Homo-oligomer: A and B are copies of this chain.
Amino acid sequence: MNTLINERLERLREVLRREHFAAFIFPTSDPHNSEYTADHWKGREWISGFNGSAGTAVVMQDSAALWTDSRYFLAAEEQLKGTGFQLMKLKVEGTPTIAEWINRQLLAAGSPSSTEVGIDGWCCTANYVQELIGDLRKEGGLTLRTNFDPLPLIWRNRPPVPDAPIERYPQEYAGERTHEKIARIRKALREHHADGMLMAALDDIAWTLNLRGTDVHCNPVFVSYLLISSKDVTLFVNPAKLTPDVSAYLQEEGVAVDRYENVIKGLKEYSEYNILMDPDEVNHTLYRAVTCERVGEESPVKRMKTVKNTAEMAGFRNAMLRDGIAMVKFLKWLKPAVEAGGQTEISVSDRLEALRAEQPLFRGISFDTIAGYQEHGAIVHYEATPATDSVLRPEGLLLLDSGAQYLDGTTDITRTIALGLLTEEQKKVYTLVLKGHIQLQLLQFPDGAAGTQLDAIARSPLWQAGLNYLHGTGHGVGSYLNVHEGPHQIRMEWKPAPLHAGMTVTDEPGIYLAGRFGVRIENTLLVQPAMETECGRFLRFETLTLCPIDTTPVITSLMTPAEIEWLNNYHRIVYEKLSPYLSEDEKNWLVGACKPLSFNNF
């Protein structure tokens, strides 16, 4: 029994009884619809004990449940033990929706005293609430109240909203001035027949203003809102975060400043005819607060930000070079260190971070390193803790998904490394994942194709063997910004955002065999123009990541000549680009790691 969580639940249930709530919902979000939030908004983790990056907790008087996706099934199972929270597996047959579950619990308990469900309207998007209201109504006519938040009453020692200073993002990396970006945004708003917009997404604000912060772990953003009208631009932010340098820059770029808390007042005073608010971005409470006409469409900033300019592309290539150097130093060190003994998942993650930190312009890691040895590799978003930390032996597979923030770019790379002898199954799965990874990079495709249209290319070699993975194949990556950047993605679920030249996207197929091992291989790619024919414009991928892919597990007879040619060519480029920055020892190691495979099928 987890007494800490049970005691918190007791305090919450007392408040729910007093306020006549049948249930209260804690999504994973903050007022800015962030994927990763500042600690202040980690209410779902605080109430449930589950620390994954995605999940929704629901608490009723006699029961509690937590919904999460396949990446976290194993981790959540572990963390929810003794909390009283039941794990609800998303996208698994038979899993009820939140509304269905609440209704069933109420029906099972007999005539309920309340049919009102609560959620904090500041911490979920307008569209989320809209759908939730519909779902609840269908389930026995349940209703939703959004103007009450129990956390301030029950969360003792809650971390404050961060007030860390903001810094400027140099023009040499940003490549476009703030007033130029704002001019482009205003032009896009006119195309949407909108006078202005409210920006709530922290990475969109950081991109627009060429500013960065440290408010969210691994994401260089700062807590704020940005209101753009046809005449004014106002940043709503805690003034304690503004250095004189940043204040001067904002003034120079024509951006006024108001207090973070004043955003509602600012919205109510907004005097133009209409305002664009993205209902998938802006929280429910703010969305409802406007009195003028609302244009409820996707924020045009999202797509602008994803198409990198020349300076950002150059920054990515430079950051990848430094990241590749750190990775090579790490990989060269790894096997002998494991053979020497005493290395663990955590110790090698620390070593890798230290090697990255030696590189110029390093600003931190871009997400918590996933180092999963053997069966831990099958836990998609495994994060080793002192309690789970495995000792690495010179055998089997280590799945290592990591990345860094450099001032000129963000990196995200996964390598699965053979630490010694492998099983035949490990070699076969590794080879099939590699085939999928390469097939996607070899693809040429029509300009404007959605990622969902390309997804099967990475999966089909796995499907042919009865294997599949439930996570996405790829996501955008920010320019010294969030490592997950949308709206474009490559995944099974329909994501209509089209792919265009200048976008970054990862290529990360994987296979996870519970209790045995996991394989994932990931490069970050840049979409480039390929050709124009009478059938239209076509795109291709440039591989940004520079780091050898372990060839020791590859069963070459399963590979096609084109796949082997890609791999050999990639390794030639990796060697050419990285070797000038390496010591003789490192270069010698890299020669071996980049040795071409020969094609011996026939």
- Given A468-B535, A514-B534, also A463-B492 (CB < 8 A): no
A444 adjacent to B457 (CB under 8 Å): no
Pairwise interchain contact B446-A531, C-beta atoms closer than 8 A: no
Residue A445 lies at the interface, judged by CB distance under 8 Å to chain B: yes
7 closest Cβ pairs, A-B complex: A466-B533, A468-B535, A494-B494, A466-B531, A444-B464, A467-B535, A444-B463
| B-facing residues in A45-96 (Cβ within 8 Å) | none
Enumerate chain B residues within 8 angstroms of A560, measured Cβ to Cβ.
Answer: 560
Is B466 touching A538 in the complex (CB atoms < 8 A)?
yes
List of B residues within 8 angstroms of A533 by Cβ = 466-467
Residue A152 interfacial (CB < 8 Å) = no
Which of B460, B468, B492, B536 is the one whose CB lies under 8 Å from A457? B460
In the complex, chain B residues whose CB is within 8 Å of the CB of A514 = 534
A494 lies within 8 A of B452 (CB): yes
Instruction: Count chain B CB atoms within 10 A of each CB in A450, A532, A535 and give the residue with the most.
Output: A535
User: Nearest Cβ in chain B — how far from A557, in angstroms?
Assistant: 12
Q: Verify if A454 is at the interface (C-beta below 8 Å from B).
A: yes
Chain B residue with minimal CB distance to A445? Answer: B463
| CB of A456 to closest CB in B, whole Å | 5
Please name all residues of chain B whose beta carbon is closer than 8 Å to the beta carbon of A445 when the two chains form the complex. Answer: 456, 460, 463
Instruction: Determine if A143 is an interface residue (Cβ-Cβ < 8 Å).
Output: no
Query: Does A556 sit within 8 A of B, measured CB to CB?
Result: no
Main secondary structure of the interface of A (DSSP, over half): mixed
Contact A453 B534 (CB under 8 A): no
Known contacts A444-B463, A457-B456: does B468 contact A536 (CB below 8 Å)? yes
**Pick from B443, B453, B535: contact of A452, CB under 8 Å:** B453
Q: Mark A551-579, 1 if CB is under 8 A from B, else 0.
A: 00000000010000000000000000000
**Residue A496 at the B interface, CB < 8 A?**
yes
Assuming the contacts A446-B468, A460-B457, A463-B446, asked whether A513 and B494 have C-beta atoms less than 8 A apart, the reply is no
Shortest CB distance A512–B (Å)? 9
CB interface residues, A 423-474, toward B, < 8 Å: 442-446, 449-450, 452-457, 460, 463-464, 466-469
B-chain residues with CB within 8 Å of residue A443 when the two chains form the complex: 460, 463-464
Question: Contact at A466–B535, with CB atoms within 8 Å?
Answer: yes
Give Cα A496–Cα B534 distance, bound, in whole angstroms. 30
Beyond known contacts A444-B463, A466-B535, A513-B534: 20 more, CB 8 A cutoff: A443-B460, A443-B464, A445-B456, A446-B468, A450-B494, A452-B494, A454-B456, A455-B456, A456-B457, A457-B460, A463-B538, A466-B530, A466-B531, A466-B533, A467-B533, A467-B535, A468-B535, A494-B494, A511-B535, A560-B560
Which of chain B's residues have a CB closer than 8 A to the CB of A511?
Answer: 535
Q: Which residue of B lies closest to A496 (CB)?
A: B494
* Closest-CB distance, A141 to chain B (whole angstroms): 13
Point out the residues of chain B lying under 8 angstroms from A531, CB to CB: 466
Q: Which residues of B contact A530 (CB under 8 A)?
A: 466
Q: How far is the CA of A450 from the CA of B531 in the complex (A)?
A: 29
Pull 15 A–B residue pairs with CB atoms less than 8 Å apart, ordered by A.
A442-B464, A443-B463, A443-B464, A444-B464, A445-B460, A446-B463, A449-B492, A450-B494, A453-B455, A454-B456, A456-B457, A457-B457, A457-B460, A463-B538, A469-B535
What mask results when residues 510 to 525 of chain A are scored 1 for a CB within 8 Å of chain B, else 0? 0101100000000000
Binary contact readout A524-555 vs B (1 if CB under 8 angstroms, 0 otherwise): 00000011111110100000000000000000
A423 to chain B, nearest CB (A): 15
With most chain B CB atoms within 10 A of its CB, the pick from A456, A533, A602 is A456
Q: How far is the CB of A264 from chain B (nearest CB, A)?
A: 29
Inside 8 A of A536's CB, which chain B residues have their CB?
468
A456 to B534, CA, bound (A): 19
CA distance A511 to B532 in the complex (A): 16
Q: Restricting to A479-524, which residues have a CB under 8 Å from any CB of B?
A: 492, 494, 496, 511, 513-514
Nearest residue (CB) in B for A464 is: B444
Instruction: For chain A, residues 316 to 374, give those with C-beta under 8 angstroms from any C-beta of chain B.
Output: none
Closest residue to A532 on the B side, CB-wise?
A: B466
Give A359 Cβ to nearest chain B Cβ, in Å: 37
Pick the contact of A444: B442, B455, B466, B532 (CB < 8 A).
B466
Determine the distance from Cα of A466 to Cα of B529 in the docked complex, in whole angstroms: 12
Q: Chain B residues near A453 (CB, 8 Å)?
A: 452, 455-456, 492
For residue A601, give the distance in angstroms from its CB to the closest CB of chain B.
8
Min CB gap A148→B, angstroms: 31
For residues 145 through 189 of chain A, which have their beta carbon under 8 Å from a beta carbon of chain B? none
The chain B residue sitting closest to A511, CB to CB, is B535
CA distance A452 to B532 in the complex (A): 24
A431 to B464, CA, bound (A): 23
Complex contacts, A444 vs chain B, CB 8 Å = 463-464, 466
Contacts of A450 in B (CB 8 A): 494
0/1 string, A95-119, CB within 8 A of B gives 1: 0000000000000000000000000
**Bound: A466/B442 CA distance, A:** 13
**How far apart are the CA atoms of A455 and B445 in the complex, in Å?**
12
The residue on B at minimum CB distance from A492 is: B453
For the complex, give the distance between the alpha carbons of A534 and B514 in Å.
9
Task: Give the shortest distance, in Å, between A472 (CB) and chain B (any CB).
Answer: 13
| A536, B463: Cα distance in complex, Å | 10
A445 to chain B, nearest CB (A): 5
A455 to B449 CA separation, bound complex (whole angstroms): 12
A104 to chain B, nearest CB (A): 15
List B contacts of A466 (CB < 8 A): 444, 530-533, 535, 538
CA distance A444 to B531 in the complex (A): 31
